[in-house]
Structure 1
Amino acid sequence: MWDRLTHDWSGRNCKGLARLARAALDGKDWLHDRVGDLVSYLLEVLSTPRVVRVFGREIAKRIPLPWDQQLVAVSRGMQIAGIAVCMLNGRDLAKCECFVDVVINEGKERVRQLMDWAAKDWRNLEQLVPAM
């Protein structure tokens, strides 16, 4: 897969990967908002005071959902892969959609953290390949 990804890479592929990763991250936030709305509605049906509904909604929005970590890990992995392939192909990072998306939405410091994490995690990938 890595060979295919690196050889067929273009700006269009990077843009698609960046959009997919962002949609997954935004979708996670959207789901949390809907859980908060549901809790608020249920509290309204129970005739609770407005302050309790608002408080309940905000707490419910922040409760981790079972798939949160996996979704974020997959999304960040897509972004990191896009940045890495752009770098390997000598693309200007200012034109790398994955890089630009992370910088705009997360900040430069987050890009550095993600790349540090990727370097530490990917360094031992050869250990996962069975010996032939």
Structure 2
Amino acid sequence: MSGQTPEHLRYTREHEWVEITAEGRARFGITDHAQDALGDIVFVTLPNVGAQVVAGQPCGEVESTKSVSDIYAPVTGTITSRNNAAETSPETLNSDPYGDGWLAEIDVSDVATFDLLLDASGYLASLEG
């Protein structure tokens, strides 16, 4: 799965991906590039439902055999759901970062934060520069 950057998603420079759900929420997780750089993920801390998050600010942590890294909120809003399975089976972030390895969903309060997100080609370009 290494090197995968789905075209239908949006991305942050901090290596999070964002997908708009059918309900209009922003579901997010870490990118394939991030999980590959981190190595084996062994622990995840997610934001609580109801928590207010701000785009670009830390809202959780991912711990791997190499390091501990912050998870950054990709947009501003309120956490409406979290993927508890990611905490109980953190290796899912390595094996399926764009599917079962999603982290949380946000009810977006500031749609202008979407303008800060990169498309797939912009994200790939940010990795090169």
TM-score scaled by length of structure 2: 0.23
From the two aligned structures, give the one with the greater strand fraction: 2
TM-score scaled by length of structure 1: 0.23
From the two aligned structures, give the one with the greater helix fraction: 1
Larger radius of gyration: 1
